[in-house]
Amino acid sequence: MTRILVVEDEPAIRDMIGFALKQAGFQYDEAGDAEQALAAVASRPPDLVLLDWMLPGMSGADLVRRLRSEEITAGLPIIMLTARVGESDRVHGLELGADDYVTKPFSPRELIARINAVLRRSVVVTGEQPIEFDGLWLDPVGHRVRADGETLTLAPTEFRLLHFFMSHPDRVYSRGQLLDRVWGRGIFVEERTVDVHIRRLRKALAGRAYDRFIQTVRGTGYRFSTGH
């Protein structure tokens, strides 16, 4: 059964989230701050983390950065819970490494829908063969990426985005099309979110200059260009 780690310092919100998760068939653990969260991740790794932005001590934003910096948790799906409604705040959370965000106050139905959407993006694909372009190698089954033999660690959304691009090279996709194909239909995600994850993907690929594959097509969207 899928296990969710809820990192939230407000007991009433934790209880509400816990009830919604239980009703949806999830198991869950709780943490009231970043230290408890790190201990929980180490003792029983979750399948996804729900993380409040405003935590006592180490902030939720700093905890995302910490989780993304460590190899064992770099690919852990993370959804941020935030009362910050400004676009710049939401973009900042995504740039730090969150896979999605939910703005407080939120309905249990919306929360469960976003959890399911992020989990779908992190599902291991079976039966597909590795893909390689000019030294950039991706294994859909093992969820691994290598650049010139060096292993790259990608968050679930960036991995799925790269997998889609490498499976459909030299074609231009609009932001809306990428949302449908990578994020999935039936859940609202702002198109700006695509730009943020593209930036994160390019940054991950830049060390070996493979960011050149991800091209912006002005006024249209993005393309994975193999130069053919």
The tokens for 36 are 């408890």
Per-residue pLDDT tens digits for 187-197? 677 888 899 99
Query: In terms of Cα–Cα distance, which of 86, 140, 150, 82 is closest to 114?
Result: 82
Q: Which residues are 12's β-sheet partners? A: none
Which of the listed CATH numbers 1.10.10.10, 1.20.1630.10, 3.30.70.2190, 3.30.300.20 matches domain 131-224?
1.10.10.10
Respond yes or no on whether the N-terminal peptide bond of residue 156 is cis (omega within 30° of 0).
no
Distance CA 187, CA 116 (A): 10
* Helix (H) or strand (E) run with residue 21 in it: helix 11-23
CATH 1.10.10.10 residue ranges for the chain: 131-224
Which of the listed CATH numbers 3.90.1150.140, 3.40.50.2300, 3.40.50.300, 3.20.20.100 matches domain 3-121?
3.40.50.2300
pLDDT at 155 exceeding the cut of 90: no
The tokens for 114 are 């976003």
Distance CA 167, CA 134 (A): 14
Residue with tokens 């993005």: 222
CATH 3.40.50.2300 residue ranges for the chain: 3-121
Per-residue pLDDT tens digits for 93-144? 788 888 888 888 899 999 999 899 888 877 655 557 899 999 999 998 888 8
3-state class of 89 per DSSP? helix
What global pTM score does this model have?
0.70
